[in-house]
Amino acid sequence: MDEPILVERRISDTAAVLGIVTQINSSLYKLDEKLSMHITSETAILANEIARVMLKAFPDGDADGHRRFHEANVIKAEESAKFWRTLSVEITKFGLLGFLGWAGYALWKAFLMGPK
């Protein structure tokens, strides 16, 4: 029997594939350069904007002083609340003692005068 003749139908396009890979690699390199430049410029713009906002938000850009100011206000408010709470308790306590003293005095006076 005669063996069939095998014909290679696949064509080797190594040069074409290599050209496409090279082109894709070049495009990726350019994209990487653009992205790196964009990230760098965005970071600088963001840092400048944050610095500008910090200067506007805090006197002389002193965020720590701003925090201490608020802490001092909180302490002052807490002390004021404690003062008024204590004052209220003391007024109530001495008011009740005064009333009981007056009531005791009035009852004692009425007791000494006897029945009418």
**pLDDT tens, position by position, for the chain (116 residues)?**
567 777 666 666 787 788 889 999 999 999 999 999 998 889 888 989 988 888 888 877 788 888 999 999 999 999 999 999 999 999 999 999 999 999 999 999 999 998 87
What does the pLDDT read at residue 75? 98
What is the C-alpha to C-alpha distance for residues 107 and 84, in angstroms, rounded to an integer?
A: 34
How far is residue 66 CA from its own chain's centroid?
A: 15
* pLDDT at res. 15: 79
Domain assignments of the chain as residue spans, ordered by start: 10-57, 63-116
Per-residue model confidence (pLDDT) at position 62: 84
Structure-block tokens of residue 35 = 């992205």
**Are 61 and 54 in contact, with CB atoms under 8 Å apart?**
yes
Q: What is the C-alpha to C-alpha distance for residues 12 and 20, in angstroms, rounded to an integer?
A: 14
Instruction: Answer for the pair 63, 69: CB distance below 8 angstroms, yes or no.
Output: no
Q: How far apart are CA 75 and CA 53, in angstroms?
A: 28
Query: Residue holding tokens 């963001």?
Result: 46
pTM here is: 0.47
Separation in Å, CA 34 to CA 24, 72, 75, 100: 15, 49, 52, 87
Tokens of 25: 């690699």
